Amino acid sequence: MKVYKFGGTSVGSPDRFRTLIGLINDGELKIVVLSAMAGTTNALVEISEFFAEGRREEAGKKCELLRKEYHRVASELFTSTTWAEQAHDLIDEHFNYINTLFTREFSRHNEKRILARGELISTALLHFLMVETGIPSLLLPALNFMRIDKDGEPDYFYIRENLRRELSAVTDEKIIITQGFICRNVFGETDNLRRGGSDYSATIIGAAIGADEVQIWTDISGLHNNDPRYVENTRVIRSLSYAEAAELAFFGAKILHPSSVNPARMKNIPVRLKNTMEPSDEGTLITSASEYVDYKAVAAKDGITALRIHSDRMLLAYGFMRNIFEVFEAFKTPIDMITTSEVSVSLTIEDPAHLEDIIRSLSSIGAVEVERNQTIICIVGDFRPDRVGSAPEIFEALNHLPVKMISYGGSENSVSILINTSDKTEALRSLSDKLFA
Ligand code: ADP
Ligand code: ASP
Ligand code: MG
């Protein structure tokens, strides 16, 4: 069985819904994982922010605008009044539910319930449309099987067992539709797999059922060698190893959720990235096979904070690193990059939630300097230890910009470089010219 995931743009309009049905209706049994319609989750985030700030009137207004937009889509989508009415009722049910939440206290739990509406509506609309078109399909609620554990990691045992039970009820339907992004947490509450999480849902499902392939359908023909939002003339990469794809996803290639490669890698399931608008394009295939070339791709991750801890007591001392790491462990804050010298350690974090506490704790170890608005540029290529030459093209490309940190040798697939976010676009363009021209 294959798993197909369609992102927001693939269900961005009534026409796109119809195109999607054409792509999945080939008589083969498959699970279709769907995101919310393009723009919906952003709108729901905005609504939740108004709600969180006590601006309930604005939250309500924004909510009504979104409701109207959905009614417009439903009116265009269905030809029969029966299914159009069902769709209008479903839309009202979800938006009325959001309105009842506004009468309660704001909480993170209520926010998650609001965010879940996007995927719940898009999957129901696709299901109605398929029934109207006469294509047998089954709507499988993700909240019946998708669950994360206390650390926010997929609970594979629970997912496998529950998915197996749900799938055993499938009879004639060839197409099983489910929601991406949403899940339950360890308390059984509605939660999600973080922004862009539908990719992750698809590979988790793929791993749980031992799928033949996971296909991620989006608005671009595969993973490109640089970020097309900032650089012109980027080129598609036809094949990538899991390790390479995971690094690019983690370091900012938005086409894939940062964690989405891991489940596929775990079970050796091929992942194919395809374009809904150009279905004949083969896209990018991600497998365990590695094909070494000096430079394959570049990605960038913003929102990074750098910390530099300096202490003369570090010289020839032992135990310093442990003391530093313990601080980050205590505040459950992962470290992305790290470089050291005899008397100082520089490292980066993405999550600044506990930054003040971390700085306070580190101050007892040494002097702490903090730099915000940093970006990690990740260059994926062949950086195996026997590579001859230290990738001079990278440093030539960046020699007109301040480079804050370099991480070389930690990974066989990549080099990471820290720069100011204000230099990001220039760095990406210059790297494209030097590495891929
Ligand atoms: P979806 O809604 O289908 O999940 P996303 O917007 O999350 O789509 O991901 C697709 C987008 O990722 C593309 O439109 C492109 O702008 C962006 N992107 C960023 N880096 C890359 C890259 N290296 N290769 C391809 N697309 C990329
Ligand atoms: N709808 C969710 C988001 O916008 C999940 C996804 O699109 O993958 O983040
Ligand atoms: Mg996405």
Q: Over the stretch 31-62, which tens digit does the pLDDT of each residue have? A: 999 999 999 999 999 999 999 999 999 999 99
C-alpha pair distances (Å), 108 with each of 111, 241, 323: 5, 37, 33
C-alpha pair distances (Å), 231 with each of 239, 311, 332, 424, 433: 21, 41, 35, 11, 10
Ligand 1 pocket, residue 434 CB under 6 Å = no
For the chain, percent of residues with pLDDT exceeding 70: 100
CA of 111 to the centre of ligand 3 (A): 20
The residue written with tokens 């640089």 in the block is 226
Distance CA 374, CA 422 (A): 8
In the chain, where the domains are located: 2-218, 296-436
Q: Are 245 and 261 in contact (CB under 8 A)?
A: yes
Distance CA 276, CA 296 (A): 24
Q: Which two tokens stand for residue 74?
A: 């439903």
Task: Indicate if 296-436 has the same CATH topology as 2-218.
Answer: no
pLDDT digits (tens, 9 = 90+) for 138-188: 999 999 999 999 999 999 999 999 999 999 988 877 899 999 999 999 999
pLDDT digits (tens, 9 = 90+) for 213-248: 999 999 999 999 999 999 999 999 999 999 999 999
Ligand 1 pocket, residue 253 CB under 6 Å = yes
The number of the ligand 1 atom at minimal distance from the alpha carbon of 227 is: 20
C-alpha pair distances (Å), 290 with each of 45, 241, 252, 381, 395: 39, 5, 21, 10, 25
**Closest-approaching ligand to the CA atom of 40:** 2
pLDDT recorded at residue 385: 87
Average pLDDT of the residues of the chain: 95
**Closest-approaching ligand to the CA atom of 216:** 1
The residue written with tokens 């029934």 in the block is 131
pLDDT recorded at residue 316: 65
CA of 273 to the centre of ligand 3 (A): 11
Ligand 1 pocket, residue 195 CB under 6 Å = no
Average pLDDT over residues 345-367: 95
Q: Assign domain 2-218 to a CATH class.
A: alpha beta
Superfamily (CATH H level) for 296-436: VC0802-like (3.30.2130.10)
Give me the amino acid identity at 116: A
Q: Which two tokens stand for residue 263?
A: 């489940």
Ligand 2 pocket, residue 200 CB under 6 Å = no
Q: Which residues contact 233 (CB under 8 A, 6 or more apart)?
A: 432
In which band, very low, low, confident or very high, does the pLDDT at 388 lie, cut at 50, 70 and 90?
Answer: confident
| Residues with C-beta atoms within 5 A of ion ligand 3 | 7, 196
Ligand 1 pocket, residue 228 CB under 6 Å = yes
